[in-house]
Amino acid sequence: MAIPSVGGGYQFNDGNSNEVKLSVAAAPVTATSSATLTVAQLTNGIILGSPGSSAAAYTLPLAADLDAALGNAHPGSTFDFTVINVDGSSSGVITMTTNTGWTIGSAGSQGLMTIAATAGTVRSFRARKTGEGAWSLYAIS
């Protein structure tokens, strides 16, 4: 018996491997001036940053809070998120900053943690669990 292919879109394990792969995602979240991001904002996947005419620091949530929300995460688990600077101000640079339990880079092996002040500038990050209450952040684009 053939597996029916109705409606278009590939859903993992349903047998329609020649169709587009679909997933479900929440609407992007926003952050404005300097703020401590919530776990919900970080795990949403897309943060629309609007720092205005001055530089903004987006502080990561506590690593322990991330552990509490992601109970099935184990060392080596990762997730990615993207920050888009939606402002066009020449001063509106966004910088990702650390919080308790995080290791982030300033350059080199973990990448720069800044998103340029040009509207539409995008930077993607990967968060990686390194231990209990311990995460590392990497700039991946």
CA–CA distance, 90 with 125 (Å, rounded to integer): 23
Backbone dihedral angles phi then psi of residue 116, each to the nearest 5 degrees? -60, 160
pLDDT digits (tens, 9 = 90+) for 70-87: 999 999 999 999 999 998
Confidence of residue 16 (pLDDT cuts 50, 70, 90): low
Q: Which two tokens stand for residue 68?
A: 């509490």
Amino acid at 51: P
Q: What is the pLDDT of residue 76?
A: 93
Q: Which residue has the tokens 């322990």?
A: 64
pLDDT at residue 99 in the model: 94
Confidence of residue 9 (pLDDT cuts 50, 70, 90): very low
Least confident of 5-14, 19-28, 114-123: 5-14
Could you count the other beta carbons within 10 Å of the beta carbon of residue 82? Answer: 17
49 near 85, Cβ under 8 Å? yes
Q: Is 112 helix (H, G, I), strand (E, B) or coil?
A: coil
pLDDT band at 89 (very low <50, low <70, confident <90, very high): confident
Residues of the chain above pLDDT 90, percent = 55
Residue 87 or 107, more confident? 87
Which residue type does 117 have? A
Give pLDDT tens digits for 36-69: 999 999 999 999 999 988 889 999 999 999 999 9
